[in-house]
Structure 1
Amino acid sequence: MLSSFTFLKTLDLSGNNIHDALPYQLPPNLTSLNLANNNLSGNLPYSISLMYNLNYMNLSRNLLSQNMGDIFNNLTSLTTLDLSYNNLTGDLPNSLSSLSSISTFHVQNNQLTGSLNSLASLPLNDVNVANNRFSGWIPKELLSVPTFTYDGNSFDNGPAPPPPPYTSPPPGKAHNNRTRSPPSHTHDVPSSDTSDGKKLSTGAILGISLGAAFVILFAVLVLIFCLQKRKRTENVRRTSTVNSPVIGEKEMQEQRVIPTASITDLKPLPTENNSSFERAKSGSIKRVKSPITTSSYTVAALQTATNSFSQDNIIGEGSLGRVYKADFSNGKVMAVKKIDNAALSLQEEDYFVEAVSNMSRLRHPNIVPLAGYCAEHGQRLLVYDYIANGSLQDLLHFADDSSKTLTWNARVKVALGTARALEYLHEVCLPSVVHRNLKSANILLDEELNPHLSDCGLAALTPNTEREVATQLVGSFGYSAPEFALSGIYTVKSDVYSFGVVMLELLTGRKPLDSSRARSEQSLVRWATPQLHDIDSLANMVDPALNGMYPAKSLSRFADIIALCVQPEPEFRPPMSEVVQALVRLMQRASVVKRRSSDDSGFIYKTPDHEAYEMSY
């Protein structure tokens, strides 16, 4: 991931036709970021708020969507911000007013709404907000900007905001500013000394009085009619009850049910009882395909556990929202994904509970289980078990402690567990579940270095059409299969390709895309694929952190599996069941040179005595 380039100052990947999502972890020390003229999708990541030294950012002419987000508070050095020609929506965030050094601001050709008030106090020289959906009054400060382009919006006439309520407008300004005169405390009729005025006022009053009397009379007649009808109905019911005790008892039962139904219409059904119904946005009750088999949380409970969704509790960020660490009063620690409503269409919101139902039934030892959810007060949140040992990405690329380098057997073990998770999703679940975002950051490791694949089933909340997929997150830099980059098509075989990239990470210790390397080595797949069947080249590709502690035959078989998974043609990639079988055989034959005896940790500085063993998977 790009976030690993800690010391990178300038990043320019513009005009490369990259069909991927904008990374959610960008290098924090950048001073210049140029990713213009690509096909980047997703939204602006929160990590931008931590790029304190950034003075130039150009993300124009991409497929970025959703709200911009309040991420600009700390960017006091930023002089140029270009987000033009994207699909950004929502109002301009208030944090834009913190850009104390900004001179160029371009957001033309998006779908932004609201006012330009957050730009009023900025030292701008060049502003372009054309072809959006802005409205309201143009702040007078912006009219003095040397270059200010604002056509193609719905601004009100005039350069200044209207005067405060009940304040007379300046002379000659009322028409241009669309201001209104203060409300009059007298009626708009001729004065009392005009006889025609008196007649008009009296007639109006008489008409109103007669109309009100008619309405009251009509309401009384309707009420009498309804009371008489109810009385007749009750008489018939008493007669039926006397003549037929069975029927009478049944009707009494129905009467007891009616109040319960009416209460249900006013109050959402309790999800704790695994109800198969859920309230739609229209207020009606709709049936979902299957019952929910996971716990329901309230917004208040999750807010308390995450310290009101504090930034200090953020542990990750994905295509649908941020992930927070949640500490509950009973001592339990969970991970809460707060879904950004702007990331979901209306249809997807309606199917949220159905998606939760499907995700709650995914049960596999190598998949992070969905522990609960919340669909209350317009909020949508997912609660997962908290995996404390971090992600595979962290251990491979960000571990400060060199002693935590994974051993060869630990790496094969991670590959096998992840392959088993994908085998379950692809070949056990009916219909098949496509992950769509397989990467090392989504493979979490427990204390025994067992892998747990996260975000399983979330693809159900992303659009399925080719046009919409191009604007949403499907994979990350370096993980996407060629067929997706070319056409937006994503299948289980695309997951297989992404898994092959993860295996390459395990083999080489390199990141899928690394612009700090020579151009021929920036793309891990392009650099590594031609060398996978060359023994000498393969030995030079291995992660130097392994210090040569790996069996040559195991390495060769591992490379053979990678070569199959990353083939350009999806039809030639193996199903995950075959990948699992190949990795099981590899584990059974694995052996390494014993370096020093210790316990059974998977870190290289503690190479265990039993490294050569048959895994009972």
Structure 2
Amino acid sequence: MLMAGQSTETDILCLKSIKNSLEDPNNYLQNWNFNNNTESFICGFNGVECWHPYENRVLTLKLSNMGLKGQFPRGLQNCSSLTDLDFSFNELSGPIPSDIARILTFIINFDLSNNMFTDEIPMSLANCTYLNVLKLNNNMLSGEIPMQLAALRRLKEVSFANNYLSGPVPLFSTTVDSNYVNNSGICGGSLRPCPLRSDKCSDFLHSFKSGLIVGYVFSLTCSVMLTFMFYSKCVQFKKKNNYVNKAKELGKYVCSIVSRRTQVVVNQVHKYLQPRLEHKEIKEISVLFERLTSTIWLEELREVTDCFAMDNAIGVGKMGMMYQGKLRNGQLLAVKRLFDSKMFKKQFLLETMILGRYKHKNIVPLLGFCIEENERLLAYTYMSNGRLSKWLHPLKSEVKRLKWPERANIALGIARGLSWLHHTCDLGIVHFNICSECILLDDNFEPKISNFGEAKFMNPNIEDDLGITFKVHDGKKDVYDFGSVLFELITGKTYNELTRSSTTTDFYDNPSNFYNAIDKSLTGEGFEKEVCAVLKIACECVKPTNQRPTMLEVHNNLSNVMKAQYGTSDDSNSTGGLEIASDIIIEEIVEL
């Protein structure tokens, strides 16, 4: 009888290393018992097939859909006779080893699909000369597909679909069943032609990004002005006066935010230039995000924005420049072009994941995204009335002032959106950066929450390597920020601006402290009682963390105040008390 000690010890070592290196939350590998010393005992393990029923030599590993977690197990190199490996539909992460051909010397069928592998496809795959089937679809792979794969004569099927790959595809000399869908940067072969490298807009990209990022650290305003000058290489402007006015207008906008944002950007440069991509966050995108189908070609976005002409620039933020565009069907777009795809990788992923998965009346709609070459662009529905901050702090004196009914509706809409994100959305999303600059207004002044690049998750089932970076226990930070926006709607100043010179730490305890700061345009219109009630709610929002209400409580009490104004609820609730109204339920905040 052939015992374990006489069998292929390296294969046993191989399986031991797989079990030890991977998390198995569903206990599918529970019957991998290495204390057994019977003949061919490993051949009875789940997912293991042997060359011969009397020999512990692994031929096939089919470990699909087991919920396995971890990185690619390098111990597979000890399964020296392995020909078929299937890790599909798991939660494996990190890069595919660069020396994969040495680990899987005789591999024929290789399936890593529907995981969360990152980085580039290793070039050494071209040395797996026995390879017949290669499936890498539905991961988060980036970079180019190695052209050397075209030399694999036995290859019959490849799938690279649903990744972030770019560049030309391999030109196989034999008939290969290939799938490249949903990789916006892929080109060549039977796909669209690859763009010429001499394209002026592409040539200009590097100087554009570099100039503006450096400008953020040293002088935002100068950087933007230089950018306007450099863009003359890409676009010839016929209306010089309009160009100058646009530059001045954007320059003023930059000046208005530079004092508050420069240090933030400097900190983010240090924080997010790290090359690694958090694999747990990637899993949330690949599984929960359900992948956007609305990918948009870079050429299309160049066309609708006139090659990102400054005449179409409508704003600039810490992540990128915003442009107005118009599709052929007449639909208006707002296109955000990131300054640096690597620096703002986390923000881009969060933005696409959250806005691509969730739709709500008070969340800005994401129409699509573009990942091509080094470009990262996001296309949103155009909001004709722009940022809330523009209306509360207009650069032009002729801009009309918002009346109280409009401000009250904006406050209620923001609260509705945040309540939905906190209490109804399955991820439990905390925006973490609510301010008047990230609230957009549509034609009817309905507020839309935007800029989810700093968001965090309350759902305890959502995990990530950095823990606190992407997770938070509650939404009290949003409650505070929303309270500050309420102060801004009522007084024209944020809570910090109102209390900056005060030596009293509990300024919020007495709403009367803020009566003199109420915007004069809101007085004498018959809304004083409602304004004071909302001011009281704002004071509750900025209290210490353990004393703040939840966003659902804030939304319910704001709703009571608005109803009381129009005689649809008891006057007893119009003072803005913090009782949770029994007639306002959570479903109300799900309105689309």
Q: Please, what TM-score do these two structures have when normalized by structure 2? A: 0.45
Larger RCO: Structure 1 or Structure 2 (Cα < 8 Å, ≥ 6 residues apart)? 1
Query: Which protein has the larger Cα radius of gyration, Structure 1 or Structure 2?
Result: 1
Q: Please, what TM-score do these two structures have when normalized by structure 1? A: 0.43
